[in-house]
A and B are shown apart, each in its own frame.
Chain A
């Protein structure tokens, strides 16, 4: 029998397990997936949804980095932690979740990566193809994103945050080439160039299209507030509102945006959310991110560029391209 060498083929076990999804994305994508290595910094209800999705999909390996000891609060949106202190007590989020994730798919290596995300160096990053960061201060995200960009190896960077009923995903695929298949057209090779996180959040607001989702601006105000106060994402409450409104005014003045573009009610919602995650929103964000990572690894399908927003208030799941790619 002809065909490629045996080692290139999926095993019968893989073919049986992945049958339904191979029918969606093809064998080549499945093979690429099985060779990809993913690092998740920050274990919470949202990233756990993502982890579940890519472990089921059959990614090569998944490493979890989060040394925080599990507390009662972690149980709210996380289905991998049993509510039994004798199981989770004294152990890190990464450890407890790693154990449960292994069960999901024996063909995927799931491991704990000990360490502090704000200190990880370039060589460590080279072990991965995909880095996902959640619930870490902006400065850590910028640091990791910057390091990814400095490596000669292509490492895609994602940030994901759930604020109760709202959520944001950011993607930096640097230079990404992929096969695009549009209805009724021949497959075409496409090239996309992504801005870094730093570039994407420092775009002058005036230059953005009017229809840009309000969540983009609101998240920048919140992020700026948290950074200047030295807080982690979500370490906020409604009592921060006056300071946040002042921050909004300052930023809007500086970038000539009407303050009404960032409604006070929206800021209130984000502040009140704190670290709370609404499980349906976790599922939606984790699903979108899972899909995006699969697209990125397989180099198939239009990837999201470069922000995604979901808000239960209007039910929309929107992409924003910031700064907008110039039409050619």
Chain B
């Protein structure tokens, strides 16, 4: 037997089974979702949602596809939040402090209230990654923000008007492109391919009768 709970979708009451996620509960109640539903599995950040449990003062935030309903839950989805995304040319920017000052100067207006961290649906230390960004420590910012799904909930709470996920996105690209160590074996291989090093091997495979390739495949040596 299913246990039923009462939830309030945008203020209206519905009775739903208690083992559903908020997303499934909305569908159970009859909503055909278009907005606010992407991957259905915690990766895309489309389903940011705020809720309050009756009698509780705190307004909580979550991903609707990742959170179970509770009795007396007041739910409102936040399927779009107008973030600021600055455009830049990744080839021309430099991984220095200047770039943040130029593109996202508002991060320096952070008042340290920690509302972003408290609201993060991925339990990230958002205030900390903004602090790293302020100091131009992009590698640390990248690491700290890595699991960000860019849902925008933190930005909805920020009194300084910071678009945290976009700041982190920039930091990660700067880190990936400019700060992470270069990969020699990758560059070597690209060069070898362009030089035609594997041309004959590949051409041979293109012609080889299926039986011979099968033989190759079935007897191939597998790296331990």
Are chains A and B native binding partners rather than an unrelated pairing? no
Residues of chain B having any CB pair with chain A under 8 Å:
none
